[in-house]
């Protein structure tokens, strides 16, 4: 199945020693692009996330605007997601961002709903209110209208809040609305995956 934002890599060989050749090729691939590989065979990123967080007994909260609950939908499609996902909030309006996530009116007025500061406050608010280990927030312009010269259609800010740190990713995903949601959700989940793996590496090196 082709998915925008993903690459499937297939290794094949024939003849004597084919299995050995494929295994050696796989090792080379992993050395070159290992950090970009999230799974094997039919693994989906959301399943990898649920497995990682379940193994670490860590939890997740979501604050979605432009994706309209798409990330929550992907997570809850995975069996066992209830051990990981504490809450998913679709705060589409500015009022909802303020009421449920604690986003400040001054931040919205100064920077606009689609901005790094608002994404940051959305994620931090979701994490604070739910007590989750991690919180993802997304805010953007799915289009086809609503863009400006400074923030064209496809602009999105993805924030990941965790203990003492909040990371914000700014991307421009120029797709139709449905593809925009998928690509944005993929970027958000990948940001979380890499963050968790970095924590594991740091722990192992201590």
Model pLDDT, residue 73 = 98
**Helix, strand, or coil here: 198?**
helix
Residue 39 CB coordination number (10 Å): 13
Query: Which residues, other chains included, contact 171 with Cβ-Cβ below 8 Å and sequence gap of 6+?
Result: 155, 156, 158, 184, 187
- Kindly provide the residue ranges of all beta strands, DSSP E only, lying in 28-129, ordered along the sequence: 60-64, 85-90
Domains of the chain (ranges, CATH numbers): 1-37 (no CATH), 45-205 (3.90.950.20)
The residue with tokens 């609503």 is 146
Q: What is the edge-to-edge ordering of all strands in the sheet holding 155-162?
A: 85-90, 60-64, 134-140, 155-162, 165-172
pLDDT digits (tens, 9 = 90+) for 41-54: 677 899 999 999 99
Cα pseudo-dihedral 56, 59, 3, 32, rounded to 10: -30
The whole-model pTM stands at 0.86
Q: pLDDT of the chain along its 206 residues, tens only?
A: 446 666 666 777 787 777 777 676 667 666 765 565 555 667 789 999 999 999 999 999 999 999 999 999 999 999 999 999 999 999 999 999 999 999 999 999 999 999 999 999 999 999 999 999 999 999 999 999 999 999 999 999 999 999 989 999 999 999 999 999 999 999 999 999 999 998 888 777 66
Which of 182, 152, 149 lies closest to 170, judged by CA?
152
């Amino acid at each position: 199945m082709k998915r925008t934002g993903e690459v499937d890599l297939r290794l094949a060989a024939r003849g004597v020693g084919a299995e050995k050749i494929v295994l050696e090729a796989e090792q080379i691939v992993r050395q070159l692009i290992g950090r970009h590989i999230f799974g094997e065979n039919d693994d989906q990123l959301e399943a990898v996330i649920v497995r990682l967080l379940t193994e670490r007994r860590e939890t997740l909260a979501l604050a979605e605007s432009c994706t309209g609950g798409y990330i929550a939908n992907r997570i809850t499609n995975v069996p066992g997601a209830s051990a990981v996902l504490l809450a998913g909030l679709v705060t589409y309006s500015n009022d909802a961002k303020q009421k449920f996530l604690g986003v400040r009116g001054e931040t919205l007025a100064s920077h606009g709903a689609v901005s790094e500061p608002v994404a940051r406050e959305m994620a931090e608010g979701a994490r604070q209110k739910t007590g989750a280990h991690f919180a993802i927030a997304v805010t953007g312009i799915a289009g086809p209208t609503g863009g400006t010269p400074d923030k064209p259609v496809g602009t999105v800010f993805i924030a990941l809040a965790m203990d003492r740190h909040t990371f914000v990713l700014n991307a421009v995903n120029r797709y139709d609305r449905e593809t925009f949601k998928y690509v944005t959700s993929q970027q958000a989940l990948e940001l979380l995956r890499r963050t968790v793996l970095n924590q594991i590496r740091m722990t192992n090196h201590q």
